[in-house]
Structure 1
C-alpha cells in the first residue's frame, strides 16, 4: 500500500491507488490457507547452526529505501527478548533511508556480515524495500537460504523472497493491497487469505506492516517458549500474537480514495512534524508513531537531534534536523505507553486532526486490525 516514499514516486502511486478498484474485479480470488497451517499452530524453528548456543538473526535493509516498521519491529522485539543475537544490516555500509520516515545507521554491511559469519544466519528478516529487484540483494537472500537460514519476508518483503525464487511451490501471504499483483506475477506460489503470517518449510511470510509485531513474538516463542514470549507480549501491549486474520476487512473504499486525494492536494496545509530523538528511546514505539503519522499523505515526520542517537535496543538513528524549527509541530513519543498503545494514540490523533477517513486510510496501509 503506498505510503510517502521518494517524492518522484508519489504521484504515480496516487494514480495507481485511484485506479486499483477499476481492476479489482479481474483479480484472482485467494483461497483460504490449508488446515495444516492453522492460525493457532505455533511457529517452529530449527536449532541454531554452526555450534551457536542461540540463534543469529540478520535483519536486512536496502540502504536506499526500506520500510521503517518492517525493519525496526523484528529487530527491536527479538533484541528485547534476550534470546537471540540480532544484527541490523544494510546491503552497503552507512545510512539506511527508511520510508515513510526517519533514517538509521546500519550496524554492518552484508559483506562485513559474510566475513564474520561465513556459515550464515539462522534467521534472515527481509522487510519491504523499494528496490526489491536489486541483484545484489536477491543474490544475498538466496545465498543465506542456501546456507540454511530460515527466511522471513515481512509485508512487501515477500516480493524479495518471490523474486529470489524462495516461494516457488509454497504457500505464502502478503500485504492485502499487493496480493492480487503477487498472485498474477508469481502464479507458482499459492497465495492464501486469512493468515497474518504463514510458515511453509524454511520460509515465513506476513501480511502488511503491523504483522511484524505478532510474527516477531511468534519467533520469540519458537526460540524460547511461551514463558519468555508472554511477558514480552504484555510489555508490547499485544496479548494475542496468533496468525488469525480477516483479509476481507481490508479494502480500499471510495472514502479512503477521497481522503488520500484530498490530503495530497492540501498544498497549503501540509504538516511537518518534528519527532525528538532521545538517547535510550524505545525504537518499537518510535517506529509505529512515525510510520502512522507519515502515512496521511499530508504529513512529513522529521527526526530531531543534535547528532546520532542510540535506541534502547542499540539502533543508531540519524536526525533529519538538528532541532526544532519554525513551522515544525512537535510529535512526542510517550515513554510510559506500550508500542501498541502508541500506535492507537497516533491513529486517534490522526482521526482528530484529519478525519476518520484518513485514520482508516492509515490503518489500511499498516494492515492494522485494531483501528
Structure 2
C-alpha cells in the first residue's frame, strides 16, 4: 500500500494535465553543463517579492541547478510590496560571464513591464534558447519582449482584461496555475510561484526529486489545477480595501528582523501577505545587510527601533501563506484575510 501511494504521489502532477495543457519540457543538457543554469531577473525600481524570491529560494534549495539572482542595473532591487535586496549580478555582468545564455530565465512581475533594458535582455536570452518562465504578470514582460505571438499563456486574474487588450493574438488560458507552451512557461497570480517552481524542479531532476522537495516544504500539490473563476474582489473586497485604506489611524508598521540564513521563500511569503492587508507596512530591521540562506544580500529599511515584530512563526514555505492569513484574520478580521488571499490568487485550504 505504501508503494502504491508513493506511485500516486509521483504521478499526480502528470495526471492533472488536460488535453490543452502540456508539462514543462524535461531539461536537455546544453554546452556541456553538469547542471542547468537558472537566472531570476528583477527590475531595480519595483519587482514582485514572491515572484522573485520564491523561485530563487526553492530552486537553490533543490540543488539541481546553478541559480543566480540578477538585477537590470547596479544597486538594490526594490521589491513590492515590501523589502529590498542586492542581487548577485547585473544582467550585463551575467551576459559577459555566460555568453551562451541561461537554460532557464525566470521573469517576475515588475512595475515597469516595458522597461527596455529588461525586455531586451529577455528577448536575447530567448534567442539563445533559454526556457522563459513568466511568474504572475511577468508574462507582460514576455509580451513586451515580443514572445507571446500565437502562444498559449496565462497570468494574474486581475490583469486579464489588460492582457487581452495589449496582446490580443496570445491564446490566453484560464483555470491553470501554470501553462507550458514549448519553451514558454507562464503562471497565474502571485502564489503560483510555489507550484511552478516545483514543476521546474520536476522538469530538471524528475518527479521523485520534486516530491522530496514538496515534502520538505509542506506543499501537497504542485499540479496546474486551478479555478481562476473563484478569484474576484466583489463588493466585499472593495469595501474592505476602502475601509482599510481610509482608516489611516489604524495603520501600523511591523518589523521583520533580518538575520543571516533566512529562507528566501518563507520570508517572501510572510512579508508579502502581511504587506497586502492595506493595514500594515512591513519594514526590514537590522544593523546592516545580511546574507540570506542562498546568498542574496537582504537590506534593512530605515525604521524606528520600537516597532512590534511581524506576528507568527517562520513556517515552512508550503504552510507560510496559511499561517500568515490566519494571523491576518485574527488581527484585522476575516474580510482582510480574504482580500489578501484574492490578491495573491491563493486557494486557501
TM-score by length of 1: 0.87
Long gaps (5+) in structure 1: 1-33
Task: Select the residue among 54, 67, 72 that pairs with 2:35.
Answer: 54
1:367 aligns with 2:348: no
Task: Select the residue among 321, 332, 342 that pairs with 1:354.
Answer: 332
Partner of 2:174: 193
Structure 2 vs 1, CA of residues 312 and 64 (structure 1 numbering), >3 Å: closer, same or farther? Answer: same
- Cα distance in structure 2, aligned partners of 1:87 and 1:141: 15
Equivalent residues of 1:286, 1:333 under 8 A apart: no
Equivalent residues of 2:40, 2:68 under 8 A apart: yes
Q: How does 1:54-203 map to 2 (within 5 A)?
A: 54-203=35-184
Long gaps (5+) in structure 2: 1-16
After superposing on structure 2, the runs of 4+ consecutive aligned residues of structure 1 that deviate more than 2 Å are 34-38, 332-335
Count of residues in Structure 1 that have an aligned counterpart in Structure 2: 333
- Cα distance in structure 2, aligned partners of 1:235 and 1:254: 39
Partner of 2:229: 248
- Cα distance in structure 2, aligned partners of 1:82 and 1:204: 21
Write the deviation string for residues 294-324 of structure 1: whole angstroms up to 9, x where unpaired.
00112100001111111112221101137x6
- Cα distance in structure 1, aligned partners of 2:31 and 2:200: 20
Equivalent residues of 1:275, 1:333 under 8 A apart: no
- Cα distance in structure 2, aligned partners of 1:140 and 1:49: 20
Partner of 1:330: 309
- Cα distance in structure 2, aligned partners of 1:370 and 1:269: 26
- Cα distance in structure 1, aligned partners of 2:298 and 2:311: 16
- Cα distance in structure 1, aligned partners of 2:18 and 2:26: 20
RMSD over aligned Cα atoms: 1.4
TM-score by length of 2: 0.92
Q: Secondary structure at the match of 1:37?
A: coil
Equivalent residues of 1:305, 1:321 under 8 A apart: no
1:287 aligns with 2:268: yes
Write the deviation string for residues 98-137 of structure 1: whole angstroms up to 9, x where unpaired.
0000000010000100110000000000000001111111
Equivalent residues of 1:271, 1:329 under 8 A apart: no
- Cα distance in structure 2, aligned partners of 1:325 and 1:94: 25
Equivalent residues of 2:25, 2:182 under 8 A apart: no
Equivalent residues of 1:285, 1:333 under 8 A apart: no
Write the deviation string for residues 15-42 of structure 1: whole angstroms up to 9, x where unpaired.
xxxxxxxxxxxxxxxxxxx95433xx53
- Cα distance in structure 1, aligned partners of 2:20 and 2:71: 32
Shift of 1:227: 1.7
Q: Which deviates more, 109-118 or 346-355? A: 346-355
- Cα distance in structure 2, aligned partners of 1:309 and 1:220: 27
